[in-house]
Amino acid sequence: MMLAVLACLAGVGIWLADPLANPLSQTRVTQADSVPSPARPSPDPEDTKVPDPAVATNASVLKVTDGDTIEVTLDAEPGKEFKVRLLGVNTPETVDPRRPVQCFGKEASDYTKGILSGKRVRLDSDPQADERDKYDRLLRNVILEDGTDFNARLVSDGYAYAYLDFPLNPARKTLLRTLERQAKEAGMGLWAPGACP
């Protein structure tokens, strides 16, 4: 199952939760890791270590609005604030005035606040996705300083659904769809038995 995800990500270099290990452990996927080496049939402990902080950041998180929306300042435009909608993910609603707070919305919002509030991040666009949504929010992937793909982590940890109705890199769609399926199968977050009736 994981080989299918690894094969579609050859060369992408993304952090994934390993569904066979502790749900919070992470694995960095690179082209070299996409096909297991016959000389190394079991995972090497070095593969699950978080590397030294090396990701060049380009934004500071000022505020977390909800699980999938943040406010930032960009290094390229200091003093100007931008709303950012996380690309390819959808967390249950907590602030939409047209809807009541949805099941697991508060947990998703708190999860995002706990990880992103006040942090430096790298915002990556997807050339195949729109630049902004209909509310004029930037559409971005959020990468943490340690290289963790936060959008993917939201899905793999069960705090978000894969949101694939809009243009997005096909490999990215496959990844997010797979992570959602794995989170469901593992009963993570909103998929936990009894979490959301």
Task: Give the CB-side neighbour count of residue 160, counting CA atoms within 13 A.
Answer: 29
Encoded tokens for 184:
């469901």
Tell me the domain boundaries of the chain: 59-168
Reference 58, options 133, 143, 151, 115; nearest CA is: 143
CA distance 35 to 186: 24
- The single-letter DSSP state of residue 2 is H
CA–CA–CA angle 61, 92, 9 (5° rounding): 70
For domain 59-168, the CATH architecture is: Beta Barrel (2.40)
Q: What is the full per-residue pLDDT of the chain (197 aa) written as tens digits?
A: 333 333 333 333 444 433 333 333 343 333 233 222 233 233 333 332 344 557 899 999 999 999 999 999 999 999 999 999 999 999 998 888 888 888 898 999 999 999 999 999 999 999 999 999 999 999 999 999 999 999 999 999 999 999 998 899 999 999 999 999 999 999 999 999 999 87
Report the predicted TM-score, pTM, of the whole model to 2 decimal places.
0.73
Active-site amino acid positions: 85, 93, 137
Identity at 119, one-letter amino acid code:
K
